[in-house]
Structure 1
Amino acid sequence: MGKLLFKIKGWAWILTAVWSVVILVSYFWNSHQVQSLLLDQARTELRANFFKDQTFRLWATKHGGVYVPVTETQKPDPYVEFLPERDIVTSSGKTLTLINPALMVRQFNELAKSKFGAEGHISGIKPLNPINTADEWEFKSFDMFKRGAKEFTEVTSMNNEPYLRLIRPMHMAAPCLKCHAQQGFTVGDLAGGVSVSVPLTPIERLREMRMITLGAGHTFIWVLGLTGIGIARRQIITRVEEREQIFDSLQENEARTRAIVSSSLDAIITADANGIITGWNEQASTIFGWSEQDTLGEVLSNLIVPERLREAHNHGLQRAAASSQVHELNRRVEVVGLNRDGQEFPVELSITTFYIDGEIAFTAFIRDISDRKAAEEKIERDYASQQLIASVLETSLQPAPFEQRLEQILHQLLATSWLNLQGKGAVYLVNDSGDTLEMATQSGMPAKTVEKCATVPLGVCLCGQAAATGEVIYKACVDDDHHRIDSGSEQHGHYCLPIKSSDRLLGILTLYLDHDHQRSEEEIQLLSTISHTIGGMIQRNEAEQSLLHNAYHDDLTGLPNRLLFMDRLAQAMARHERNQDYKFAVLFLDLDRFKVINDSLGHSFGDKLLVKVAKRLESCSRPTDTVARLGGDEFTMLIEGPESELDISRVTSRIHSELRNPIDLIGHEIFAPCSIGIAFGNSDYKEPEEILRDADTAMYRAKSESSIQTVFFDEAMHTSALSRLTMETDLRRAFENQELSVHYQPIVAAATGEIEGFEALARWQRSDGSMVSPVEFIPVAEETGLINELGMWVLHQACKHTKQWREAHPKFKDLYISVNLSGKQLLQADLFNCIETILLGVGFDPSCLRLEITESTLMADTTANNNLLTKFRDRGYRFYIDDFGTGYSSLSYLHSFPFEALKIDRSFVLNLDQGSEHIDMVETIVAIAHNFGMEVIAEGVETEAHLKQLRDLGCERLQGYLFSRPLPPEAVSELLANPEKIAIKQTD
C-alpha cells in the first residue's frame, strides 16, 4: 500500500506542475493578445482621426479659406496680410477676416484635442506661421518622405506621456500656392506633413485592468484545478486506504477469531452431520479433559454426553441434519456434560449450523456452569439467610411482649429449610444469680425433656457447657456429653450457641439437628448472627425495663418520681370517681432548712440527706401508700383509704417525729424539719395537678406560719393563691401599660434639716386610678422573678432623675439617691454588670448611689454576699443596711459587711412614745451602729416628739412623713427649688 500511495502522490505532483504550466502559457498568450488588440484599436482610432483631419484640410484647401467675423478671440491672421483680400467689409459694415486652410485645420485640431484628447498637427518645411514648425519626430519623417515613404507610425513620448503618432506627407496643390507661391513652391513639391497623435495612457490603463482581470481569472482557474487535483488525489488515497483497511480488518478478524476460539471461556466444538468431531479448542480440553488429538474424528456423544442421554442426543442430531433445524439452535440451554473421568457436571449449551460443500455442520458452544450453579445456590441460601436475619431483627424490634417475640424468633429459625433442623429447639436465659440457665421458650421439644431441662446449671449437659465456656458446641449425634437425654429419644445432633452482649453471657440458643449432619461455617455464621440479634433484643429489653424504672423513679432516692406519682394519683381519682366511699389524701412536704444545709455543707451532703429523709418517709408509710420525690427537697405522699383527718394527722405526726431525730451525715448531726400541706381528694377535682396544687398551697401556708408545721387545705388558701396569680398577671401588664412609677422620699440631716438625698420607692397606680401597695406587689415580684426587671428599672429612673436634679439645682450638687436591692437580685449572676451598664448609660457617679439591703437577705449566703458587696465597694458604691432589728442577723456577720449606714425600721421609731424599753432598743441599735463605724438613719419619723428623741439618741439622718411623703419626680424638682418647705424646729 505504501508504494501505491507514493505513486499516487507522485502523479498528483506531476499533474499539478503540468496544470500550472498550461495556466502560465495561457496567461502570457492572452496578455500578448490583449496588448495587440489594444494597439490595433489605437491605430484604428489614429487613422480615423487622421482621415477626418485630412478630409477637413482638403475641404478647406479646395475652398481657399473661410471669412469669419473679427472678434476678441479671432483676430486677423498676420501671416497672410500680404493677401489683398485678407480683410473685407460687408455692406452692413461688419469686418470679416480670412482664415486660410492651414489655420482652419489647426483650430479644428485644437478643438478636437480639448474635447477628445487626440492631437492633429500640420508641419511645414517652410511654414508661414512658426507654430506649424515641425518637431524632431516630424523632421525625421520628412527625410523618410523624401525617400519615398508614404506613411510613418510610431509610439513616442510627448510631454512625458506615451502617444501613438501617424504622419503622412503633404504636397503642394494649386490652391495652396495662393499663400505659398511666394516661398518658391510649385505644385507637387513636398511642403511638409500632416500628423495625428493618440494618447496611450487610457489604453495602458485599460490594458492593466484587463491584465488584472486576466490574472485573477487564470489564478481562479489554476486554484480550481489544483483543488480538483487535490480532491481527486484524496479520494483515490481514501479508496485505497479503505480497501487496505478492509483487507487488514479481514486479516485481523481472522486472527481474532482464531484467538477467540483458542482462548474462549467456552468449549467450542465443531462436528459434521454424523456427529464426528471436526474441531476442538483448548477450553474444550480444559472442561472435558480430552486433548484435541484424542477427539478429532471421534463420535461427539461417546466422549461428552452421559450414557443415559446419548440415544436422545443422537436422535436429535439426526433430526436436525434432516430438517436443518436444531432445538437448541441460537439459544442457551442447561444440560449435563460428562468429563474424561466419568463425572457429570452442569453445562450451558448453544448450537449453531453452517455448511461445508453443501453439507450441514454444527458448532457447539459449551460452558461449565458448576461454579455458577454453586454460587446461585449460595446466593439463594444467603438470600434466605438475609430474609431470616431481617425477619428476626424486625421481630426483635416489635412492640410485642418480650416472651412473645422470643418465641416467634425461635419458630422463624426452626422453619429455615436449608439448615436441616429437626424443628426442635429452645432459648435459655441466665438467671439473676448468673449460675443457672432458665428455659425462656421452646418449640417441638418432648414434655419430659422440657421438664428435665427447665433449669440447667452452668457446666451441665451441652447447654450448660456452652454457657460455661462461652463457645459454640456442635454434636453430630447423641454422646456422653448429653447428661439429661431420655432413653427413648431419637438420634439427633446439636448446636448450642452462647447468647452474648459485650462479652456478657445472656443465655443459650439450642437447636436439634439431623443425625450425622455435617456442620459448616456458613451455618455457624448465620446462627451466631441470630444469637447475637437475640442478645441485642435481650439487652434492649433489660435497658427498656431499666429505662422504664428510671422514667418513673427518682435517680437519687429510688422513690417514685413526679410522673409515677401523678399516674397513681390519677388512678386514685378514678377509683374515687367509681366509688365515692373510697378516700385518699395528698401530702406535700418541703424541708425547712435544706438550702442552709446544702450551701453550708455542700451538695453531696445535701444529696445524702435527701436519701436519708426518703428512707424515713418510706418507714412512715404503708405498703399501699406512695412516697415520691418531686425534685429538690420536695416530697409527696399519696395516702389511700384514710378514714378521717385523724388518720392523716397520725401519719404527719410520725413524719415530724422521724425527722426531728438527728440524721448522721459523716460526723455531722443534721436536723431536717419539714412543712407539710395536706389536701383531701374529692369529686371537685378533675385533674391530678389540681389536688397537688392545693397540697402545695397548704404547704406554703405551713412554711409561712413558723409555729405550725402541718396545714390542711381550705378554699381560703385557694382564693389567696388565685389572688397572688392575679397580682402577678396584673404586675406584668403594668410594665406593658406603664402604670409603674418611681417616687422619692427625702432623707434629711437631723441637725440642720437640709435635704441630703432621697430614697427611690416603686409605686403602682392602675389605669383606673387606684393605688396598689408595695406591700402587695413587691412580694409577688420577688416570688415570680419580676423583681429583677423592676429593680433595674427603678435604679435607672432614680439615677436619671437624680442627675437631672443635681444639674438643675447647683445647691444640691452632692445630692445622693438610695435604692433598695432585693434578696432575689443578689442572686442575679450578672447583677454587678447590670448596675454598671445602667450607671454608664446614664453617666451617673457610683459614689452618689446608696444601695439598701435588708439584714435577712444577707443571711442567705453570707460568703457570696460579702464578696459581691466588696466588689461594689471597690468600685465606689456605698451600702445601707435596711430595716435593721427585724431580722436575725449576727453581729459578727454585720461587722464583716462593708456598710456605711444603718437604717432603723419604722416599727421601732413609731413605738418611741410607748415606753422606755422602746427607747432603750433604739438607743442600743444606735450604739451598735456607732461602734461599727456606721451612721444611723431613722425611718418613719412622723411627729416632733420622734424628731427630738432621735436627735437626742444621736441619729444623723431622718426620713418620714414629718418631712415629706414620697413625691413624684416633678414634685421633687419643686421641693429642691423651695427647700424651706421642709421645716424642722431647732429644739434644745
Structure 2
Amino acid sequence: MGSNHLKLKLSTSNLISLIAAMLWSIVLAGLFFWAASKEESHVFQYAKMEAGANFNKDIALRNWLAKHGGIYVEVSGETPPNPYLQHIAERDIVTSSGKKLTLMNPAYILRQTMNEYSVLYGIKGRITSLEPLNPINTPDSWEIEALKQFSQGVEDVSEVTSIGGKPFLRYMQAFYTKKKCLKCHGHQGYRVGNVQGGVGVAIPLEPYIKIKNDTLKILIYSHGILWLFGLFCILLINRYVKRQIDTQNRIRSDLASQKEQLDLVLEGTQLGLWDWNLVTNYVVFDERWAKILGYELSEIEFTLNSWESRVHPDDLASCYQDIQSYIDGKTSFYSNIHRMMHKDGKWRYILDRGKIVERDINNKPIRFTGTHTDITKLKETENTLQEKSSELEQVNKILSKQAMIDGLTNVNNRRAFDQRIKEEWERCHRNQTGFSVLMADIDYFKKYNDTYGHLGGDNCLKYVADALNKVASRTNDFVARYGGEEFIMILPGTGLEQAMIVAEKARNAIESLDIQHASSDCADVVTISVGVVACTQCSNINHYMSLISLADKALYLAKNNGRNCMACL
C-alpha cells in the first residue's frame, strides 16, 4: 500500500510538472504573441505619427503661404507661370530691375516641394481634390475614396497599401476652405468652411518593419531562453520533489521495517508498552500490556490506577522508590521487579523498565515511557534453580568429602593428606609453629593377605584405621591411608616428645585389637611399626616432601629394629 501511495505521488509529481510546463509554455506564448502584436501595432502607430508630423508640417507651410497670398519667384524652367492662376490679375510682375516674377500659390509650392524632396526624406506627399484646379492634382482611386469620406464628415483616413511593390502607410487629412484660399479657388465656387480637398502623405514602412522584425527576433530569443529556463526550473523542481519523495520512500520503508522488527521483537519477547503523562496521570497501555495480565485492551482504563491497583501491596513502595531514584538521577533508567494481579487471581512477576522521554522548560519530567515483561516463568525457574543449586552444593560437599575419604577404611585418603600437609607446612612458616608426622605400616601384611585372604586383609585395614582415628582424638589431628597398608598421621602443634607418646599409643591400640596373625614373624597378632618425625618451627626442613621422606626413613628404621615398635629422626 505504501509503495502504491508513493508511486501515485511520483506520477502526480510528473503530472504537475507536465501541467506546469504546459501552463508556462502557454503563458510565454501568450506574452510573446501579445508583445508581437504590440510591435505590429507600433509599426502602424509610429508610421501614423510620422505621417501626422509631416502632414502638420505641410499644413503649416500651406497656411503660411495662404496667409501671405502665395509668394513670387523668378520665372524659370522649373517655376514657369502657373496657367491655372491666369484669373489672378497680378500673377506675373516685373521688378524695377527688370526681373520677371510669377506668383506661386500654396498648392504649387507644396507640390514642387514634395516632388523635389520626397527622395531626400523618403516620404511622398501631395494635395488633391475631387475638383482639382490643376489636373496633375487629380486623385487616384484610394484618394477618391478618402475624399468621399471627408465629405461625409470624416476628418482623416489612413491605410497600409503597396506603392511600387513596397508597403506604405497612406495618410490623408481633410482641409477646409478658408477666406485666404478664395484668392485662388474662389472662382471654383468654394465657400469658407467647404471641404476643399485633402493633404496626403505616404510613409514607407520598410524601416519600421525592419525594426519590428529585429524586435521580434529579440522577443523570440528572449522568450525562448526564458521558456527554456522555466522548463529547466520545472525540471529541477520535479527532480527535487522526486528526491524528496524518494527520501520519504526510504524513510517510510525504514520506519515500516523498523516497526515490523519492533513488532516482532515485542511479540517475541512479549513486551507490553506503557506511556505515562506525569502531569495528568493519564497512561496509555498497548494490547500486549493488557494481555500479560489476561485482559483485553478495552477492559483497561488509561489511568495510573489501572497499574497501581494491580501491583502487590508489598511491592508498590519499592516501585515508587525506584522511580524516584531514577528521576533524581541516581540510576540511568528505571527498573523494578514486582508482582501484579492477573485476571485469573494469581500473581505474576513483572519486570518493569522505563525512561523519561520529555521534560518541560524547567527540566521537570512530564512524560515517562517503558515496558512490562512477564518473568513469572523465569522467576519460577530461578527459584527452582536456587533450590537445585542448594541441593547441588550439598551434593558437591558430600562428593568433595568423599573425594578426600578412602573408600575402604573411611579415613582420609592420599589426596586429602597431600592437601593437609601443604596447609600445615604453610601454617608452620606463617605462624612459626611446629607439627609432627607419624607414618605407620602393618607388619607382614602381605603374609596376612596370603593367609586370611583379601577380604580378611580389607577387614584388618578397617580395624587398624578406626583404631588410629581414635588415637588422633584432637580436633586438628589428621589420619589418612597413605597407600596399601601404610597410614600417616599429622599432629599440629606437637613436638617430637609428644609425637612419640602418640606413636606408642597407636602401636598399643593396634596390638590391643588382638587380630590374629599366625604368619607374622614378630607376634601372634597384627602389629604396626611407626616412624616419627617432628618439624619444630620448620627451620630444620626445607620442604614438606622432605618431612615425609624423613618419616618414611624413620619407619624403615623401626622395621629394621624388629618391627612392632617406633623410631624417630
- In the superposition, the TM-score normalised over structure 1's length comes to 0.25
Q: Which structure is richer in relative contact order (CA contacts within 8 A, separation 6 or more)?
A: 2
- In the superposition, the TM-score normalised over structure 2's length comes to 0.42
